Structure 1
Amino acid sequence: MSEIKTYHGACFCGAVQLKVTGEPEAMGYCHCEDCRHWSAGPVNAFTLWKPEAVEVVQGADMLGSYHRTPASLRQWCRSCGGHVLTDHPGMGLVDVYAAILPGLTFEPALHVHYQESVLHIVDGLPKMRDVPAEMGGTGETLDE
């Protein structure tokens, strides 16, 4: 019988702590303008989990949230401003930023929203125009 894995993460100051259980549904890189602005970087590394796999174990009262679109509820620590997670209700998944899960081996499988890319990455991974069809996108891929 295999053991269920648990990973722990925290915001920048540690006031908000979470744990995720099992394995992510997907891991990759997002190039959309919203993620780029939110992360203040040219690309955002994501890990997507089923909501029941994500638990805020400390500091839930310290989480601030912002709803720019109905597709994403972004949450951060109100003490340090550290980004923690984004709920994607339409996909039924929660993005826990790869950078805050130090124990998780990040194994990206694809790039999403690559048509908005400002940093082109040649790594052999599929480059999706938006997102895979099973996640509500076109499923169309672009050249590296």
Structure 2
Amino acid sequence: MSKTYQGSCFCGAVQFTVTGAPEGMGYCHCESCRSWSAGPVNAFTLWKPEAVKITKGADNIGSYNKTENSYRKWCKTCGGHIFTEHPGMGLTDVYAAVIPDFPYAAGVHVNYQETRLHIKDGLPKLKDFPKELGGSGVAIAE
């Protein structure tokens, strides 16, 4: 049986679950994620869309897409960021911070060429994305 984890926005008006295991976890260093998260790096968990279920407040979710690659979602009440749909990848990025009981374990840094915070943790650092997600798959030095 698959494990289900509860998540929510900052105020709790939007609640959701993620079930099973994510397709990947890591840190994104791109300018878009840094700006959206208001931080130097964004911790992500990538899920198949069917693994993510809104359980409360679906009508309270706002959406913004700067590009066709990312549909960013947030709570209209508190402004808390919840997840980003990536239609081209067929995945949904649920921000690690909004699923507090999930056992987050990063496996990779993506878009590391854009980093503003160098992290020496021994994890692979990719110039952009893995090849299977449309990137070059090129690794760069820590």
Which digits, 9 at most, give the CA deviation of each residue in 1:60-95, with x for residues without a partner? 100000010000000000000000000000000000
Instruction: Give the equivalent residue in structure 2 for 1:51.
Output: 49
Instruction: Give the equivalent residue in structure 2 for 1:111.
Output: 109
The answer to whether 1:69 aligns with 2:67 is yes
CA shift for structure 1 position 103: 1.1
Instruction: Give the equivalent residue in structure 1 for 2:77.
Output: 79
TM-score in terms of structure 2 length: 0.99
Unaligned 5+ residue runs, structure 2?
Answer: none
State the 4+ residue runs in structure 1 displaced beyond 3 angstroms. Answer: none
CA shift for structure 1 position 101: 0.5
What is the letter of the counterpart of residue 74 of structure 2? W
CA shift for structure 1 position 118: 0.2
Query: Equivalent pairs: percent with the same residue?
Result: 63
Which digits, 9 at most, give the CA deviation of each residue in 1:1-20, with x for residues without a partner? xx210001000000000001
Paired residues, number: 142
Q: Secondary structure, in 3 states, of the residue corresponding to 1:142?
A: coil
Unaligned 5+ residue runs, structure 1?
Answer: none
TM-score in terms of structure 1 length: 0.98
Superposition CA RMSD, Å: 0.4
CA shift for structure 1 position 34: 0.2
Instruction: Give the equivalent residue in structure 2 for 1:123.
Output: 121
Instruction: Give the equivalent residue in structure 2 for 1:21.
Output: 19
Partner residue of 1:100 out of 98, 101, 104: 98
Measured in 2, the distance between the counterparts of 1:93 and 1:57 equals: 19
What is the letter of the counterpart of residue 73 of structure 1? Y
Q: Secondary structure, in 3 states, of the residue corresponding to 2:35?
A: helix
